[in-house]
Structures are given as structure tokens and as C-alpha cells.
Amino acid sequence: MTRLQDQKPLTSEELQLKIARVTTNAHDAMVMRALLDFNEHVLKTNFYQPTKVALSFRMDPGFLPAVEYPTKPYGLFLVIGNEFRGFHVRFQDVARGGIRIVRSRNAEAFSINQRTLFDENYSLASTQHRKNKDIPEGGSKGTILLNLNAQDRPFVAFEKYVDAILDLLLTGETPGIKNRLVDRLGRNEILFFGPDEGTAGYMDWASQHARKRGAPFWKAFTTGKSQTLGGIPHDTYGMTTRSVHQYVLGIIRQLGLDESACTKLQTGGPDGDLGSNEIKISHDRTTAIVDGSGVLYDPQGIDRTELERLAGERLMIQHFDSAKLGPQGFRVLVDDFQVTLPDGTQVQDGLSFRNGFHVNPLAAADFFVPCGGRPESIDINNVGQLFEADGSTRFKYVVEGANLFFTQDARLRLEKAGVHLFKDASANKGGVTSSSLEVLAALSLTDDEFGRLMCKQADGSLPAFYQEYVADVQTAIEANAAREFECLWAESKATGKPKCVLSDELSVAIVDLRKNLEATNLWDNVPLRRLIMLKALPARLLQEIGLDTILERVPLNYLKAIFGAYLASHFVYEYGTSPSQFGFF
């Protein structure tokens, strides 16, 4: 049915004048102008769709103030449902990043999460963009903040979030159910979702739902899927940890340390992806672990066998056998009250003790490896609590596995005090490499080949190709991490610059060089093209179908992105950020 109207819509200028004329106070005028500004920046919405499970809006990010958001995102989605509100931000047309569930323990936490949700999403996406420097895709991130009365319905919220965004990615072709949208963007978009906090088990559903709705990109829509659908689960193969731990090993190698003698504080416990795999892959003397259930501490080193049991079963430290703690060891859970520690210290409230343990004097260790925790847990206001009375720091080495655990000013203060610190954008990039190569396999193989070579078979076995391809992915992750570590270590030693600053400069240098390469005709140099692609593509994939088949099947823009990413990253890792990029040519 055609919508009819008998009067001409007002222009933006006319609406501004009308708002000024009819409003009676500055507050009302501000609200109306905000609504007008919102409407002017909506490019697509499912608001008028006859059927929908949540409201979704594709926004033009141009309204974001440059002072607060210096790098303008490429795309921004706002999604609002009965159980949640959420965003999706990306910094490049073809971009990749995880979808995160944000929970709130109480009304106060929910109020804080409401106020900070978009800023957290923007920062996570920006960090992701810097992490993605080794791969063809740019960075993105999605957040889903559960309403206070919906803390037990994360999957329902995720379902609605995904379906509402698909409303804006697909062309409606069923009148009365899904109509064709008014599209002020004027071009098709594809988003790529990955697992993040609280969504690791939802990737299969999202992929199959996209397939059910007729999305041609369903195979590549999500990564980290189950092996039945050809996914490479990050937690099963420790993809993120393989990158983070290369920085720990790099520090040990450069300084001639004995890993088994090094003490470590770890936030993020044996129930999580990064936390469990860090326990499995490391050989240090872990003295403290902080997770969602509480704090586990033993100055002599927490029993490694018991930790590995929890990591293998993905259990929180509340399941740790306390009989295996030393005489000065303890476990304090978030629901505990009035606990006396072995040294006589009184803990009034287990939740507050857990939340602040990373700045507690007992947390001192050689290494601090955050594998979980809220963004900005250490900022300029509390970083001073990581210093002893004599000015020394409680940690000598920090490898930031958890995204945005430290603010930049906190990192700078620690590095100035002599701490060797490697930030998240450098250390925590293994997962994105795994996801990118998972999609490459989907793009390179036909449906029949993909089912035969990449998917778990009916008898539960994994194809030999799959296992060998996963090994190639792990090798690529470790090699990329090792190259970046050596570059940062050498640059810091040569220039005296903080590593957290060099990490950003490295990312900018690679991204800028990639842009410069796109404007050249290097891709047209066929011998060079083939040489680089043979180096950049996984060996097992090349062995199976050959370079010519890959070049024929994979979209050209994706191939060029692989070519540019490989050239740019390897050049900068070898020669650093200082030489003129014109030296490349």
C-alpha cells in the first residue's frame, strides 16, 4: 500500500527554524535538534518494516565530534531491542571483529555501562583496526549491553541483534514481511562477525541464520564456528594465546630469563579462552589468578597440575582444590564476606577484593598477563598503586592480552619507570589472523570441497587437510607475532621511545604503506604478484588447489588486500617505522 501525504516535507533548515519558533526552553530545543540530527544521519533503518525483532539503524558516522573521536569510523550501526541495546563500528568497508556481550552485576554497573558503551565499542574497534594490520580486513567490533532485567537472556539478545542487522544488509523481497528499504547509502554492505566475550558459542547459529535468510555471504558471515561448519575455534586451538605468549617468550629470550623461575599474575581465569590456553601453554610460576568467581593466590606458585585440570575442563577458580594451596595461599570468592587471609589481613567483601586485586600489593610478580577484565582497569588514577614505596614497580614485564586493560597514559607511566610493556594491539592479534585465514579457505574452496576438506565428517573425524591447515594458521600467527616483537624491541632500543607508542606508529606505518601500495601498479607485475602470493598464502591450501585456482576464485579486491598487507607488514617489520616509505620502491 502506498503511503500518502498531503503536504510537502520541511527541509532541515525549515525544521531548525520551526524548532526555534515552537519550543519554549533551551532543553526542549536541544532534544528536538538532537532528533533532527539523528534523522539526518540515518542511512538505512528497519523501523518501517512490517516484521522485525529489534530496531536497527545504519548511521553516517559524520555526526561524531572529531575532538572525541579523532578517527572517523567507516560505518556505524545502532540496534535496540527489548533485552538490550548495542552498536557495531567498523573502520574499513571490509572489516572483521568480534561481537561482545556486556553484562551488569547491579543497577550501578548497568548505569555506568550505559554511559560508556559506545566509547568502549569505538575504542575496541579502533584497537581491532590496529591489530588487523597483518590481514586484508580492517577492524570492527560489536557490543550488546544486556538490560538489567535480561542478564539471563544473552542468546535471545544476540539473536535479535544479528537479525536486525541482517534486515539492513539484505534486500527485502517479501511484501508485507520484509519490504525493500529506503537506502540512502546506495551500496551493498557485508559485515563479518567473530566470537568475543560471551558469544563464542553463538557463531554457528548466526551463520546458519544468515543462510536461512538467503544471505549469499553466509559461509563467511561468522568465524570461530564449530568444526562441523568448517570453523576454526579460537579457544580449541589457542589462536589468541599463541600471539600473546610469543611476547612473553620474546622477553624471556631477549633478557635470558628462565621461564620456570618467573612469577606471574593473570587476570582472566581457566574458564576463558585466553586464560585457559595461557595456563596450558606457559611454564612459569603463576602466583595469582583473578577471574569472575574470585581470587586464587599462592606466593609459592599455584599448583600447576590442578590449574591445568581447571583449564582443560574450562572451570573457574572456585572449583580449585584448596587442599593444594601452600600455607600462605588462599582463595577468596566474590560472594565471601569477613574472610581472614593467612597473613591476618581482613577481607570484608569478596567482590571488592576481587575487583581491586590487580592493584593489591600481594599481586606483585615478574610478569603481569591480563587475559580478561574490563577495559581501563588500570588508568592514570590508579596506576600509582602499582608502585612500591621506593618507586619500584610491582611488575617488571606486562603483556596485555586483554583488550584495553590499560589506558595509554597508564602504559606510558609504567614504561617510564622501566617496565617492558607490550600493548593489546600488538600482543592480542592471533584470533584475527585465524579468522581471516578461515574466511580465505571459504572463499577459495567450492561448497563441495569445503564440506569435504574443512568440515568435521559424519563419523566425528576431522579431515587431514583441516588439521594441516590449522597448523599453517598457528605457524602464521606465531611468525607474525615474533616479527612484530623483534621490530618493537629493536625500535625501542634504538630510539628510546615507549613500546606502546611504537606499537601505534607501527600500525599506522603499515596501514599507510598499504594505502600507498593500492595506488601503484605493483599488482600488475605478474611475476612479483605470483611470488608474493606464494609467500602470503597458506602452504597447505596452495598444495591442495594451486595458486591459479585461488587467484581465479577469490574476489580481486580481497586478493589485492592480501598482497598489500603482506608487502607492507613485512617491509615495516624488517626496516621499522623510521625509513621513508618511498624507500620501499
Annotated catalytic sites, by residue? 141
- First-to-last CA distance in the chain? 60
Q: Which residues on adjacent β-strands are paired with residue 323?
A: none
- State the CB neighbour count (10 A cutoff) for residue 112: 12
Q: Residue 6 has which C-alpha cell?
A: 498531503
- Nearest to 119, CA basis, from 135, 102, 134: 102
Give the C-alpha separation, 47 to 493, whole Å.
55
Contacts of 106 (CB under 8 A, 6+ apart): none
Q: Which three cell numbers stand for residue 21?
A: 519558533
Strands (E) in 219-319, as ranges, are 263-267, 285-291, 294-297
Q: CA-CA distance, 469 to 454, in Å (whole number)?
A: 9
Sign of CA dihedral 92, 94, 98, 103: positive
For 67-105, letters b (16+ CB in 10 Å) and e give eebeeebbbbbbbebebbbbbbbbbbebbbbbbbbbbbe
Rg (CA), the chain: 25
Q: How far apart are CA 519 and CA 147, in angstroms?
A: 46
Per-residue b/e over 204-219, b at no fewer than 16 CB within 10 Å? ebbbebbeeeebebbb
CA-based nearest residue to 40, from 65, 15, 19, 69:
15
| Range 19-23, long-range pairs (CB < 8 A, 24+ positions) | none
**Nine-digit cell at 236?**
580449541
Q: What is the DSSP letter of 174?
A: B
User: Residue 475 has which C-alpha cell?
Assistant: 605457524
